[in-house]
Amino acid sequence: MKKLLLIFLFPICFSAFSQDKSIQLTGILVSTDSLLTIPFANVLIKNQQKGTISDFYGYFSLVAAKGDTIVFSCLGYKKATYIVPKWAKENFITVVQKLETDTIMLKETKVYPWPSRDQFKQAFLTADIPDDAIARAKKNIDNAFVDIMIAQMPNDGKENFKHFMNDMEQQQYIMMGNPTIIPILNPFAWAKFIQAWRNGDFKRKD
């Protein structure tokens, strides 16, 4: 009877002991230099296949055991560890874990547009070396080259307005036989007006 009682009590005691060792670990990850939160960092229990990642605001939460070593890692930061206290009285612990920024120096990588060095050598030996600065300057001021550039260059606002007014004048000349002249802009009309004013043609006659 005593053996049977011990068999039933052992799982209960083991379960109570296991629950007593469990810790709800929560916290936030921040950078040491700026104290900005670190999102999507790895939070793993060392030597175990358990862990989590921090959310967008750097917050994390996981269940660990007393005495576990928590490893924090993130790209661009040095790894950090935190040991859960073995003699913690409470089953809930909150931590603020700082991670130090880490600079990764990559080796120099040379990229060639050729699959092999032999093809690069062959392409280099048969390459058409461009002209020097003086030869390029002479080409740039060549009359034929300048004419091509002028023909390809679009008109600016002033030239477009000039062409538009010329087209309007030609259309009026074709439709009416001669271009339409606005009287207020006609210098001959102004000359006649001034001469008539001097002669007193506009004086009131009673």
Every domain of the chain and the residues it spans: 21-99, 133-198
* Beta-bridge mates of residue 45: 70
Structure tokens that stand for 140 in this block:
């740039």
Whether domain 21-99 has CATH 2.60.40.10: the reply is yes
Cα-trace Rg, the chain:
45
Q: How many CB atoms lie within 10 A of CB 43?
A: 23
Strands (E) in 32-133, as ranges, are: 42-45, 51-53, 59-65, 69-74, 77-83, 92-99
pTM of the complete model beyond 0.75? no
Minimal CA–CA distance to 94: which of 73, 70, 112, 126?
Answer: 70
**Is 206 or 114 the better-scoring residue by pLDDT?**
114
pLDDT in tens, 3-27: 444 444 445 444 444 446 788 999 9
Q: How many CB atoms lie within 10 A of CB 78?
A: 13
In the chain, the percentage of residues whose pLDDT exceeds 70 is 82
Torsion of CA 6, 8, 9, 13, to 10 degrees: 130
CA distance 3 to 14: 17
pLDDT in tens, 46-104: 988 899 999 999 999 999 999 999 999 998 899 999 999 988 888 899 999 999 998 88
